[in-house]
Structure 1
C-alpha cells in the first residue's frame, strides 16, 4: 500500500521544499522557521496569492492591512469610516487567504494561521502550495497550446465585440442619415419623373420640328423648280418678242390678235409674279418660324443640360442610397455573423479539450467565407466602376449628338437665308426685266401706231404694279386712221 497523507497532497522534505521555493523566487533563509511572525506570514501569503491566483497587488491593497491608504482616497471617507479601514482590509485579505488554502487542499484555515502562525502550519501550507504549482505547471505543459488558442480566441471575441459595437453605432448613424435623406430622396424621385416627362415632350416637339424642317426643305426645292420654270418662260417670252420683232404686221386684225396674246402673256406673268411674291412672303414667314424654332431649341438645349445635371445628381443620390443600403445589409450580416461567431467561440471555449481541432477547421472555414465575401465585394466594386464609366460614355455621346444637332440647325438656317436672298434677288431681277420689256413693247407699239398714222380716239386704264409696289396707270387706246374716219370699226387694242 502507498503512503497515507493527512491532506490531498504529499508532504515534502525540507531540502526539497526549500529548493522548490527558491525556484519559485521566494527568499527563504535558514532562520525562516525559527521565528515566524504575523508580518512574515502576511508577506508570504501575499506572494503566494499573486503567484497562484494571479491577483495584482493593487487588488489586495496591502496598505489597508495597516490602516494606511492614499491621501487622495482617504479624503472621500467620513471620520467614522476611517476607523474601519484596517478591519475592512483584514477581512478582504482573510477572504483571499481562505480561497488560497482551499485551492491547496487545506480546508481548516483559521485566523490563527494569519495572526499566530506556527512553523508546522506554514510548512504544510508551503508543501500544498508547491504541489499546486507543480500541478499547474504540469497542466500548463500538457494544455499549453490549447491555452494559447483559448487566449487567441478570447482576443478575437473581444475584437469581434468591439467591431459589433462599432458596426451598431455606424448602423444607427446610417439609419439616421437615411431617415433624414428619405424626404429629399422622394422629392428627387418625383422631380426626376417630372423631368423625364418633360424630356419626352421636348423629344416630341423636336420630332415635329424635324418634320417641319423637312417640309420647308421640300418647299424650298419646289420654289427652285418654280423659279426654273419662270426662267424658262422668260426665255420663251424673249424668243416670242424676238419673233415679234421679226414679224411685220400687215393688218389691224393681226395687231389686235398679237396684242391680245401679249396681254394674256403679261397677265399670266403678273399672276406668276404675284405667286412668286406670295411664295417669298411664305418663305419669310417660314424663316421667322425657323428662328423661333432655333430659340426654342436653344432653350430646349439648356433645359436638357439642366435635365442631365439633375439626372446626374439623382444618379449620385441613388448611388448613395445603394451604398447606404449595402452598408446596412453588410452591417446586419456582420452583426449576425459576429453573434453566431461569438456563440460558437464560447462553445469552443467550454469544450476546448475535446473539440479544438473541429474549432480550428471551423475558423478556417470562416476565414475562407470572409475571403469569398471580400472577393464578391471587390467584384461588385469593379462592376460599379464599369457602370459609372458606361454612363459617362453615354453622357459624352449625348453631348456630341446635341452639338451635331446644333451644327445641323445652324447650317440649315444659313442655307435657308441664302436661298431667300437668292429668291429676293431673282424676284428683283424678274421685275426689272418685266418693266424693261413692258416699256420696250409700249415704245414699239407707239412707233407702230405712228407708223400706221393711227389716232387715239378712246382711252381706258389698265392697272399694273411697278417695282416699288405702287399702281401704274397705263393709258390704253383705240386707234383710227386720221385720213379715213370711217375706219372706226378697225380693231381696238389694249396694252400696258
Structure 2
C-alpha cells in the first residue's frame, strides 16, 4: 500500500487501519466491538456504531434523534390528516418511522463528513462486512485526524487563552482606574467649591477682625485719656474738699472770737459766702463731670464685653474654619501624591502594554513560521497522498475526499488564526486609546490640583 519506511503523519493517518487497531481505539469510549462483526455484522452493532459516531461528531444522543420512542409520545402530533389513521397501532409505527428517518438523515451527513458514499435507508438495518468495515475504519481515521489537529494547534490555543486572560485583567485595571479618576474629579469639584467659600469667609472675617482691632485700640487709648482726666478730677475734688474743710475750720475759729468790728466781720462773711458759692459751683461742675466719666466708663465696659465676645468668635472661627482649611490643604497634598501614583500606574500599564505588543509580535512571527511550515508539510502530505492514491487499487475516491477535507480544515484553522490576530490588534488598539484618554484625564486633574494649591497659597 505504499512505502512503509516513510514516517509521515499523513501516511500514518490514512493507511489501511487493522481491526485490532480499531478495537483498541474504540476502547477509549468504553465500546467493545465483537471481532466477528467484521465478517458478519448485525443491525444492532451497526446502529450502535452509527449512534456513537453521531454523538462524537455532532454531539447528538438518542434523546435528540429518537425522542418519540424514548418518551413514548409524538412530538406535536397532528389532530387529523386526510388518508392517515392515527390509531394506537399506527401511532407506534409513526414513532419508530420518524426516529428512523431522522437517524438516516444524520447518517447521510456522517457519510459526507467521513468521505463515504451516500447510504440508503435499508442499509441501516442490513449492513454488509464491507460497509461496516468502511464505516468503522473511516470513523477511527477521523478520530486520529481530529486528535492530530488538536495537538498541532494546542500551543496556539493556549497562547490565545493567555492573551484573552491578559485582556480581561487589563480591562478590569482600566475600569478601576477610570472609576478612581471619576471619584477624584468629584472630590476635586466639591473641595474646590468648599475652599472658595472658606476663602471668602476668611477674607470677610479678617476684615472684620482688623476693624475690630482698630476700634479696640481707639477705645483703649480713649479709656486711658479718660482715666487720666478722671484722676485729675478726683485730685481737684480732693483739693476742693480740703479747702472747704479748711474754710469751715477757719469760720468756726473766727466764730469763736468776738469781734467788735461789725463791718470787718460783715465783709469777711460776704467774702467767705462768695468763696463758698464759688466752691459749691465748682463742686457741682466736678460732680457733673464725674457723672459723665461714669457714663463713659460704663460704655467702655460694654465695648470691652463686645471685644471679649469677638475674641471668642474668632477663636471658634480658628477651630471650625481655619483648622479644617489646613486639613483640606493636607488632603490636597495627599491627592497630589495619589495622582503621581496614578501616573506611575499608567506608565506601568503602558510598559505592560508594550511588552504584550512585543509578545504578540513575537507570537505572530512564530505563527507565521508555523503556518509556512504547516503549508509546506501539507503540500508534501498532499503529494504523498496523491502518490498513495495512484498506487492504491481501491478507495481512490475516499482518499481524495479526505485530502479535500484536510485542506478545508487547514484553511478554516488559518481563517480562525487570522481572525484572532485581527481581534487581538483591535483589542490592543482600544487599550491604547483608553490608556491615552486616562493619562490625559490624570494630567488635567493634576493641573487643576496644582492651580488650586497655588490659589490657596496666594490667599
Bigger helix share: 2
| Larger Rg belongs to | 1
Q: What is the TM-score with the length of structure 2 in the denominator? A: 0.46
Task: Kindly indicate whether structure 1 or structure 2 has the higher relative contact order, using CA contacts under 8 Å at least 6 residues apart.
Answer: 2
Q: What is the TM-score with the length of structure 1 in the denominator? A: 0.44
Bigger strand share: 1
